[in-house]
Chain A
Amino acid sequence: MKWHGCSRVGEVTTALREERGLEGCAPELQTHVAACPQCSELVLVARALRRAREEAIPRAQPAPPDLLWWRAQLRRRNALAERAARPIGLVEKLALGIMLLWIAAWAAAQREAIADALQWWARSPHYSLFRGNINWFTGDGPSWLPAGILAATLGLLAGLATYLGWRGAGTKRQQD
Protein backbone atom coordinates (compact mmCIF):
# COMPACT_ATOMS: atom_id res chain seq x y z
CA MET A 1 0.00 0.00 0.00
CA LYS A 2 1.23 3.45 -0.87
CA TRP A 3 1.09 5.98 2.00
CA HIS A 4 3.42 8.70 0.80
CA GLY A 5 3.65 10.94 -2.15
CA CYS A 6 0.45 10.40 -4.10
CA SER A 7 0.67 12.89 -6.91
CA ARG A 8 -3.09 13.39 -7.04
CA VAL A 9 -3.60 14.63 -3.48
CA GLY A 10 -3.64 18.24 -4.68
CA GLU A 11 -6.19 17.41 -7.33
CA VAL A 12 -8.43 15.69 -4.80
CA THR A 13 -8.05 18.55 -2.32
CA THR A 14 -9.08 21.06 -4.98
CA ALA A 15 -12.08 18.94 -5.92
CA LEU A 16 -13.16 18.73 -2.29
CA ARG A 17 -12.89 22.51 -1.90
CA GLU A 18 -15.04 23.20 -4.91
CA GLU A 19 -18.82 23.29 -4.86
CA ARG A 20 -19.22 20.25 -7.10
CA GLY A 21 -17.24 18.08 -4.69
CA LEU A 22 -15.69 14.78 -5.54
CA GLU A 23 -18.92 13.48 -7.00
CA GLY A 24 -18.74 16.08 -9.75
CA CYS A 25 -15.25 15.05 -10.80
CA ALA A 26 -14.15 12.74 -13.54
CA PRO A 27 -14.95 9.06 -12.84
CA GLU A 28 -11.28 8.31 -13.30
CA LEU A 29 -10.39 10.46 -10.27
CA GLN A 30 -13.13 8.81 -8.24
CA THR A 31 -11.75 5.41 -9.15
CA HIS A 32 -8.30 6.57 -8.11
CA VAL A 33 -9.61 7.83 -4.75
CA ALA A 34 -11.27 4.50 -4.08
CA ALA A 35 -7.99 2.67 -4.77
CA CYS A 36 -5.46 5.09 -3.21
CA PRO A 37 -5.22 4.88 0.61
CA GLN A 38 -3.82 8.38 0.93
CA CYS A 39 -6.53 9.98 -1.17
CA SER A 40 -9.35 8.00 0.43
CA GLU A 41 -7.96 9.03 3.83
CA LEU A 42 -8.04 12.63 2.69
CA VAL A 43 -11.63 12.33 1.50
CA LEU A 44 -12.73 10.65 4.71
CA VAL A 45 -11.19 13.36 6.90
CA ALA A 46 -12.31 16.26 4.74
CA ARG A 47 -15.89 15.04 4.57
CA ALA A 48 -16.07 14.43 8.32
CA LEU A 49 -14.75 17.90 9.07
CA ARG A 50 -16.95 19.63 6.52
CA ARG A 51 -19.97 17.91 7.99
CA ALA A 52 -18.87 18.90 11.50
CA ARG A 53 -18.55 22.51 10.36
CA GLU A 54 -21.99 22.52 8.77
CA GLU A 55 -23.46 21.14 11.97
CA ALA A 56 -21.62 23.55 14.27
CA ILE A 57 -22.34 26.77 12.39
CA PRO A 58 -26.08 26.99 13.19
CA ARG A 59 -25.28 26.42 16.87
CA ALA A 60 -23.13 29.52 17.15
CA GLN A 61 -24.57 32.38 19.18
CA PRO A 62 -22.30 35.32 18.40
CA ALA A 63 -22.78 38.63 20.15
CA PRO A 64 -24.46 41.32 18.00
CA PRO A 65 -21.95 43.30 15.92
CA ASP A 66 -23.26 46.61 17.30
CA LEU A 67 -22.39 45.53 20.82
CA LEU A 68 -18.91 44.44 19.74
CA TRP A 69 -18.41 47.72 17.92
CA TRP A 70 -19.46 49.71 20.96
CA ARG A 71 -17.24 47.67 23.28
CA ALA A 72 -14.29 48.08 20.94
CA GLN A 73 -14.80 51.84 20.87
CA LEU A 74 -14.95 51.89 24.65
CA ARG A 75 -11.80 49.82 24.91
CA ARG A 76 -10.04 52.07 22.42
CA ARG A 77 -11.05 55.15 24.41
CA ASN A 78 -9.86 53.62 27.66
CA ALA A 79 -6.55 52.65 26.09
CA LEU A 80 -6.09 56.19 24.77
CA ALA A 81 -6.92 57.67 28.18
CA GLU A 82 -4.47 55.31 29.85
CA ARG A 83 -1.78 56.19 27.34
CA ALA A 84 -2.43 59.89 27.82
CA ALA A 85 -2.30 59.54 31.61
CA ARG A 86 1.08 57.80 31.57
CA PRO A 87 3.21 60.97 31.12
CA ILE A 88 1.07 62.77 33.68
CA GLY A 89 1.91 60.10 36.22
CA LEU A 90 5.59 60.46 35.44
CA VAL A 91 5.39 64.23 35.84
CA GLU A 92 3.60 63.77 39.17
CA LYS A 93 6.39 61.58 40.48
CA LEU A 94 9.03 63.93 39.17
CA ALA A 95 7.31 66.91 40.80
CA LEU A 96 7.09 65.07 44.10
CA GLY A 97 10.77 64.18 43.95
CA ILE A 98 11.80 67.75 43.14
CA MET A 99 9.62 69.09 45.91
CA LEU A 100 11.15 66.75 48.48
CA LEU A 101 14.65 67.59 47.32
CA TRP A 102 13.91 71.30 47.47
CA ILE A 103 12.53 71.02 50.99
CA ALA A 104 15.52 68.99 52.13
CA ALA A 105 17.93 71.53 50.62
CA TRP A 106 16.04 74.43 52.17
CA ALA A 107 16.01 72.73 55.58
CA ALA A 108 19.75 72.06 55.35
CA ALA A 109 20.44 75.68 54.43
CA GLN A 110 18.24 77.04 57.18
CA ARG A 111 19.22 74.62 59.90
CA GLU A 112 20.79 77.36 62.09
CA ALA A 113 17.68 79.49 61.95
CA ILE A 114 15.45 76.49 62.62
CA ALA A 115 17.62 75.45 65.55
CA ASP A 116 17.41 78.99 66.99
CA ALA A 117 13.66 78.95 66.59
CA LEU A 118 13.43 75.62 68.37
CA GLN A 119 15.67 76.80 71.19
CA TRP A 120 13.53 79.88 71.57
CA TRP A 121 10.51 77.63 71.67
CA ALA A 122 12.21 75.35 74.21
CA ARG A 123 12.81 78.30 76.50
CA SER A 124 9.22 79.45 76.27
CA PRO A 125 6.76 78.52 79.08
CA HIS A 126 4.72 76.30 76.70
CA TYR A 127 7.65 73.94 76.28
CA SER A 128 7.56 73.01 79.95
CA LEU A 129 4.37 71.08 79.22
CA PHE A 130 6.31 68.65 77.00
CA ARG A 131 9.65 68.69 78.78
CA GLY A 132 9.10 65.29 80.33
CA ASN A 133 8.44 63.67 76.99
CA ILE A 134 10.92 65.37 74.66
CA ASN A 135 13.94 66.18 76.80
CA TRP A 136 16.15 64.35 74.30
CA PHE A 137 15.82 67.50 72.16
CA THR A 138 18.21 69.27 74.49
CA GLY A 139 20.38 66.25 75.16
CA ASP A 140 23.80 65.33 73.73
CA GLY A 141 22.61 64.86 70.14
CA PRO A 142 23.60 67.16 67.29
CA SER A 143 22.16 70.63 67.48
CA TRP A 144 20.43 70.40 64.10
CA LEU A 145 18.58 67.15 64.90
CA PRO A 146 15.32 68.70 66.12
CA ALA A 147 15.30 71.13 63.25
CA GLY A 148 15.96 68.32 60.81
CA ILE A 149 13.13 66.19 62.14
CA LEU A 150 10.74 69.09 62.00
CA ALA A 151 11.82 70.03 58.51
CA ALA A 152 11.55 66.45 57.29
CA THR A 153 8.04 66.15 58.72
CA LEU A 154 7.00 69.42 57.15
CA GLY A 155 8.60 68.36 53.90
CA LEU A 156 6.78 65.04 53.82
CA LEU A 157 3.48 66.72 54.57
CA ALA A 158 4.08 69.34 51.90
CA GLY A 159 5.08 66.68 49.37
CA LEU A 160 2.05 64.59 50.17
CA ALA A 161 -0.22 67.60 49.84
CA THR A 162 1.36 68.45 46.48
CA TYR A 163 1.05 64.87 45.26
CA LEU A 164 -2.60 64.66 46.26
CA GLY A 165 -3.25 67.99 44.60
CA TRP A 166 -1.68 66.77 41.35
CA ARG A 167 -3.63 63.51 41.49
CA GLY A 168 -6.89 65.37 42.01
CA ALA A 169 -6.19 67.66 39.08
CA GLY A 170 -5.23 64.68 36.89
CA THR A 171 -8.42 62.78 37.72
CA LYS A 172 -10.50 65.84 36.96
CA ARG A 173 -8.77 66.27 33.60
CA GLN A 174 -9.46 62.60 32.75
CA GLN A 175 -13.13 62.90 33.67
CA ASP A 176 -13.45 65.99 31.46
Chain B
Amino acid sequence: MIGAEAIPGVPASKAAVAANAALDAQAFSGFHQRTARPLWAYLARVLGNAALADDLLQESFLRFLLTARWEEGEAACRSYLYRIATNLMRDHWRRPAVTSLEEVPEGDLPASNWQMDERIDSQGLLKPAFAQMRPRERQLLWLAYAEGATHAEIAQITGLGAMSIRLLLFRARHKLARLLRPTMVPEGGKR
Protein backbone atom coordinates (compact mmCIF):
# COMPACT_ATOMS: atom_id res chain seq x y z
CA MET B 1 0.00 0.00 0.00
CA ILE B 2 1.25 3.43 -0.87
CA GLY B 3 2.82 5.23 2.02
CA ALA B 4 1.87 2.44 4.42
CA GLU B 5 2.55 3.22 8.03
CA ALA B 6 5.05 1.14 9.95
CA ILE B 7 3.51 -1.93 11.56
CA PRO B 8 2.71 -1.07 15.19
CA GLY B 9 5.28 -2.49 17.53
CA VAL B 10 7.73 -3.31 14.75
CA PRO B 11 10.53 -0.78 14.47
CA ALA B 12 11.12 0.22 10.86
CA SER B 13 14.27 2.01 9.88
CA LYS B 14 13.96 5.33 8.13
CA ALA B 15 15.95 3.96 5.19
CA ALA B 16 13.51 1.06 4.74
CA VAL B 17 10.53 3.40 4.85
CA ALA B 18 12.17 5.73 2.35
CA ALA B 19 13.00 2.79 0.05
CA ASN B 20 9.40 1.58 0.16
CA ALA B 21 8.13 5.08 -0.59
CA ALA B 22 10.49 5.37 -3.55
CA LEU B 23 9.33 1.99 -4.86
CA ASP B 24 5.70 3.03 -4.48
CA ALA B 25 6.36 6.34 -6.20
CA GLN B 26 7.95 4.48 -9.09
CA ALA B 27 5.06 2.02 -9.31
CA PHE B 28 2.61 4.89 -9.25
CA SER B 29 4.48 6.71 -11.99
CA GLY B 30 4.14 3.69 -14.28
CA PHE B 31 0.49 3.20 -13.39
CA HIS B 32 -0.21 6.88 -13.97
CA GLN B 33 1.45 6.73 -17.37
CA ARG B 34 -0.75 3.83 -18.41
CA THR B 35 -4.04 5.08 -17.05
CA ALA B 36 -4.10 8.89 -16.95
CA ARG B 37 -4.79 9.54 -20.61
CA PRO B 38 -7.53 6.91 -21.07
CA LEU B 39 -9.13 8.08 -17.85
CA TRP B 40 -9.03 11.67 -19.04
CA ALA B 41 -10.68 10.60 -22.31
CA TYR B 42 -13.43 8.88 -20.32
CA LEU B 43 -14.01 11.93 -18.12
CA ALA B 44 -13.83 14.40 -20.98
CA ARG B 45 -16.22 12.43 -23.17
CA VAL B 46 -18.76 11.75 -20.47
CA LEU B 47 -18.61 15.24 -18.96
CA GLY B 48 -18.18 17.05 -22.26
CA ASN B 49 -15.86 19.51 -20.57
CA ALA B 50 -12.08 19.25 -20.88
CA ALA B 51 -11.26 21.65 -18.03
CA LEU B 52 -13.54 19.82 -15.64
CA ALA B 53 -12.05 16.53 -16.82
CA ASP B 54 -8.58 17.86 -15.93
CA ASP B 55 -9.76 18.71 -12.41
CA LEU B 56 -11.52 15.43 -11.82
CA LEU B 57 -8.60 13.48 -13.23
CA GLN B 58 -6.26 15.04 -10.71
CA GLU B 59 -8.72 14.55 -7.86
CA SER B 60 -9.26 10.91 -8.87
CA PHE B 61 -5.55 10.19 -8.66
CA LEU B 62 -5.20 12.01 -5.35
CA ARG B 63 -8.01 9.99 -3.80
CA PHE B 64 -6.66 6.85 -5.35
CA LEU B 65 -3.24 7.48 -3.81
CA LEU B 66 -4.76 7.90 -0.36
CA THR B 67 -6.57 4.57 -0.44
CA ALA B 68 -5.03 2.39 -3.16
CA ARG B 69 -4.00 -1.20 -2.50
CA TRP B 70 -1.26 -2.16 -4.92
CA GLU B 71 -1.26 -5.76 -3.78
CA GLU B 72 -4.64 -6.29 -5.47
CA GLY B 73 -3.04 -5.93 -8.88
CA GLU B 74 -3.13 -3.42 -11.68
CA ALA B 75 -6.52 -4.45 -13.07
CA ALA B 76 -8.20 -3.97 -9.69
CA CYS B 77 -6.38 -0.67 -9.18
CA ARG B 78 -7.51 0.48 -12.60
CA SER B 79 -11.12 -0.45 -11.85
CA TYR B 80 -10.87 1.30 -8.52
CA LEU B 81 -9.49 4.44 -10.16
CA TYR B 82 -12.33 4.47 -12.68
CA ARG B 83 -14.81 3.98 -9.87
CA ILE B 84 -13.41 7.00 -8.04
CA ALA B 85 -13.67 9.05 -11.22
CA THR B 86 -17.23 7.85 -11.82
CA ASN B 87 -18.23 8.79 -8.28
CA LEU B 88 -16.64 12.21 -8.68
CA MET B 89 -18.66 12.77 -11.83
CA ARG B 90 -21.83 11.72 -10.01
CA ASP B 91 -21.00 14.10 -7.15
CA HIS B 92 -20.45 16.85 -9.66
CA TRP B 93 -23.85 16.32 -11.24
CA ARG B 94 -25.57 16.07 -7.89
CA ARG B 95 -23.99 19.19 -6.48
CA PRO B 96 -26.64 21.90 -6.18
CA ALA B 97 -26.02 24.88 -8.38
CA VAL B 98 -25.27 28.01 -6.39
CA THR B 99 -25.78 30.32 -9.30
CA SER B 100 -28.64 30.84 -11.68
CA LEU B 101 -28.76 28.70 -14.80
CA GLU B 102 -27.80 31.63 -16.97
CA GLU B 103 -24.52 31.95 -15.09
CA VAL B 104 -23.53 28.31 -15.33
CA PRO B 105 -21.04 27.58 -18.11
CA GLU B 106 -22.66 25.38 -20.70
CA GLY B 107 -20.00 22.74 -20.31
CA ASP B 108 -20.99 22.18 -16.71
CA LEU B 109 -24.46 21.06 -17.64
CA PRO B 110 -24.68 17.32 -17.94
CA ALA B 111 -26.86 16.44 -20.86
CA SER B 112 -29.04 18.92 -22.64
CA ASN B 113 -26.47 21.65 -23.04
CA TRP B 114 -23.62 19.23 -23.33
CA GLN B 115 -20.76 20.49 -25.41
CA MET B 116 -17.23 19.58 -26.31
CA ASP B 117 -14.34 21.92 -26.68
CA GLU B 118 -11.50 21.68 -29.13
CA ARG B 119 -9.46 19.40 -26.87
CA ILE B 120 -12.02 16.64 -27.15
CA ASP B 121 -13.20 17.51 -30.59
CA SER B 122 -13.61 14.32 -32.52
CA GLN B 123 -15.33 13.30 -35.68
CA GLY B 124 -18.41 15.45 -36.06
CA LEU B 125 -20.73 12.48 -35.97
CA LEU B 126 -20.32 11.42 -32.35
CA LYS B 127 -20.50 14.91 -30.85
CA PRO B 128 -24.18 15.67 -31.42
CA ALA B 129 -25.19 12.07 -30.81
CA PHE B 130 -23.34 11.80 -27.50
CA ALA B 131 -24.76 15.15 -26.45
CA GLN B 132 -28.23 13.66 -26.55
CA MET B 133 -27.34 10.74 -24.34
CA ARG B 134 -27.79 10.69 -20.59
CA PRO B 135 -24.62 10.79 -18.49
CA ARG B 136 -25.20 7.24 -17.27
CA GLU B 137 -25.63 6.03 -20.85
CA ARG B 138 -22.43 7.78 -21.90
CA GLN B 139 -20.59 6.16 -19.02
CA LEU B 140 -21.83 2.69 -19.86
CA LEU B 141 -21.13 2.99 -23.56
CA TRP B 142 -17.69 4.42 -23.06
CA LEU B 143 -16.66 1.81 -20.55
CA ALA B 144 -18.03 -1.04 -22.62
CA TYR B 145 -16.90 -0.09 -26.09
CA ALA B 146 -14.13 2.49 -25.78
CA GLU B 147 -12.45 0.87 -22.77
CA GLY B 148 -13.54 -2.67 -23.54
CA ALA B 149 -14.66 -3.32 -19.96
CA THR B 150 -16.67 -6.43 -19.18
CA HIS B 151 -20.13 -6.24 -17.63
CA ALA B 152 -18.69 -7.23 -14.26
CA GLU B 153 -16.09 -4.47 -14.46
CA ILE B 154 -18.70 -1.93 -15.48
CA ALA B 155 -20.86 -2.99 -12.55
CA GLN B 156 -17.91 -2.56 -10.23
CA ILE B 157 -17.06 0.87 -11.60
CA THR B 158 -20.56 2.29 -11.78
CA GLY B 159 -22.06 0.56 -8.76
CA LEU B 160 -24.95 -0.75 -10.87
CA GLY B 161 -26.18 -4.31 -10.58
CA ALA B 162 -24.30 -6.65 -12.86
CA MET B 163 -27.57 -8.09 -14.17
CA SER B 164 -28.92 -4.71 -15.23
CA ILE B 165 -25.82 -3.73 -17.20
CA ARG B 166 -26.73 -5.89 -20.17
CA LEU B 167 -30.16 -4.33 -20.62
CA LEU B 168 -29.01 -0.77 -19.95
CA LEU B 169 -26.17 -1.21 -22.37
CA PHE B 170 -28.46 -2.64 -25.01
CA ARG B 171 -30.79 0.35 -24.74
CA ALA B 172 -27.97 2.88 -24.72
CA ARG B 173 -26.30 1.22 -27.68
CA HIS B 174 -29.50 1.19 -29.64
CA LYS B 175 -30.12 4.85 -28.85
CA LEU B 176 -26.62 5.89 -29.88
CA ALA B 177 -26.78 3.82 -33.06
CA ARG B 178 -30.08 5.44 -33.96
CA LEU B 179 -28.54 8.87 -33.40
CA LEU B 180 -25.42 8.00 -35.35
CA ARG B 181 -27.30 6.46 -38.24
CA PRO B 182 -30.92 7.52 -38.18
CA THR B 183 -31.79 5.61 -41.32
CA MET B 184 -30.80 2.35 -39.66
CA VAL B 185 -33.85 2.22 -37.40
CA PRO B 186 -36.89 0.90 -39.20
CA GLU B 187 -40.29 2.46 -38.76
CA GLY B 188 -41.85 1.12 -35.58
CA GLY B 189 -38.69 -0.77 -34.66
CA LYS B 190 -38.58 -1.90 -31.03
CA ARG B 191 -36.07 -0.43 -28.64
Contact = CB atoms under 8 A, between A and B. Distances in A.
Interface of A: 1, 3-4, 16-17, 37, 40-42, 44-46, 48-53, 55-63, 65-66, 68-69, 71-73, 75-76, 79
B122 A3 contact: no
B66 interface: yes
SS class of chain A's interface: helix, strand, loop or mixed?
Answer: helix
B190 A59 contact: no
B8 interface: no
> Could you say which interface size class chain B belongs to?
35 or more
B28 A59 contact: no
Contact of A41 (B28, B36, B177): B177
Interface string B79-98: 00000000000000000000
A63 B58 CA distance: 7
B40 A46 contact: no
A59 B119 contact: yes
Contacts of A1: 186, 189
Contacts of A49: 126, 141-142, 145-146
A33 to B, nearest CB: 13
A57 B62 contact: no
Contacts of B44: 56, 59-60
B62 A44 contact: no
B173 interface: yes
Interface in B139-178: 141-142, 145-148, 173-174, 176-177
Contacts of A69: 25, 28-29, 65
Nearest to B60: A68
A1 B184 CA distance: 11
Contact of B174 (A3, A61, A68): A3
A66 B62 CA distance: 11
A45 B190 contact: no
Given A3-B190, A41-B173, A44-B180, A65 B32 contact: yes
Contact of B41 (A45, A57, A75): A57
Contacts of A46: 145
Given A17-B148, A44-B181, A65-B33, 6 more contacts: A3-B191, A48-B180, A53-B41, A56-B44, A65-B28, A66-B25
B110 to A, nearest CB: 18
Interface in B13-43: 25, 28-29, 32-33, 36-38, 40-41
B123 interface: yes
A62 B184 contact: no
A55 to B, nearest CB: 5
Given A3-B174, A48-B180, A53 B28 contact: no
B3 interface: yes
Nearest to A61: B54
Contacts of A53: 38, 41, 45, 142, 146-147
A15 to B, nearest CB: 12
B70 interface: no
A62 B66 CA distance: 18
